Amino acid sequence: MKYIFLLSFFGVLLISGCGTTTRMTNSWKSEKINQENIRKIVVLGLMRDSDASLREKMEQHLVDDLKILGFDAVCSCNEYNPKSFEYMSETEAINKLRNSGADAVLTIVLLDKTRESYYMPGKMLSTQNYYYRDHFWNYSRMMFERINEDAYYIIDTKYFWESNLYDLKQNVLIYSAKSLSFDPGSTERLGHEYGRVIVNDLVKKKVLPPSPKEKVLKAM
């Protein structure tokens, strides 16, 4: 019975892993990281006003994943309004963050978002059946039916992300990562997967201090 349970458990993990729509493309960390400087992290999304709801989802999921590991993290959507830093100088912005008790800022930037459509045939025709291709009317009727099928065009949405972690005490970049999300289906899933991918990499590369709860957040 225990053996069957374990097989089922690992089967679920395997299926979940195959369904991941976000992956890390590359990441970098500084050789001069002082983990003792990182206690409170502000997660800050930098996106267009039209993506305000997406920004909040991304921030909140990343904050939640940091909190699961026991880190002190706050969402900028709760601490500041979207235009808090718009007309500030660098010194003013950093002082504002420091005065709130933040030691580090983890940014989420949507570098680009593309939508591509491609043909997905609903019915496949044998390449050896030349009758349909070589006769205009049959060919035109066949193609007319295919282009009016619901599955004629498939639209893929790709999100290109960058996240940077800044040590506010030293005012330096200590970590940077680029990621790509493929047609996640919902902003909820997008934020959920992205948060896990980034936090897992931060822990794996030992950018953050040892987790207060001594857990490793596995990327789905």
Give the domain CATH number at 169: 3.40.50.800
Judge whether 156 and 115 are in contact, CB under 8 Å.
yes
Residue 195 lies in a domain: yes
Written as one letter, the residue type at 101 is G
Residue 12 lies in a domain: no
Relative orientation angle of helices 52-68 and 187-204, to the nearest 10 degrees = 40
Share of the chain above pLDDT 90, in %: 35
Q: DSSP string covering 150-176, please?
A: TTSEEEEEEEEEEEEEEETTTTEEEEE
- Residue identified by tokens 């500084």 is 30
Distance CA 80, CA 164 (A): 19
Residue 41 lies in a domain: yes
Judge whether 183 and 26 are in contact, CB under 8 Å.
no
Q: Is 206 exposed, middle or buried (0-12, 13-18, 19+ CB in 10 A)?
A: exposed
pLDDT of the residue at 119 = 59
Reported confidence tier of residue 9, pLDDT bands at 50, 70, 90: very low
Residue 190 lies in a domain: yes
Distance CA 168, CA 38 (A): 9
Reduced to 3 states (helix: H, G, I; strand: E, B; else coil), residue 211 is coil
Total count of domains within the chain: 1
Residue 155 lies in a domain: no
Residue 6 lies in a domain: no
Written as one letter, the residue type at 157 is T
Distance CA 7, CA 19 (A): 19
pLDDT tens digits, one per residue of 142-151: 655 655 555 5
pTM of the model: 0.72
Nearby residues of 86 by Cβ (< 8 Å), 6 or more positions away: none
- Residue identified by tokens 């990441």 is 27
Nearby residues of 180 by Cβ (< 8 Å), 6 or more positions away: 22, 23, 25, 158, 159, 160, 161
Please say if the pLDDT value at position 63 is more than 70. Answer: yes
By residue range, what is the domain housing residue 83?
20-113+160-204
Residue 146 lies in a domain: no
Reduced to 3 states (helix: H, G, I; strand: E, B; else coil), residue 131 is helix
pLDDT of the residue at 127 = 41
pLDDT of the residue at 6 = 34
Residue 50 lies in a domain: yes
Please say if the pLDDT value at position 85 is more than 80. Answer: no
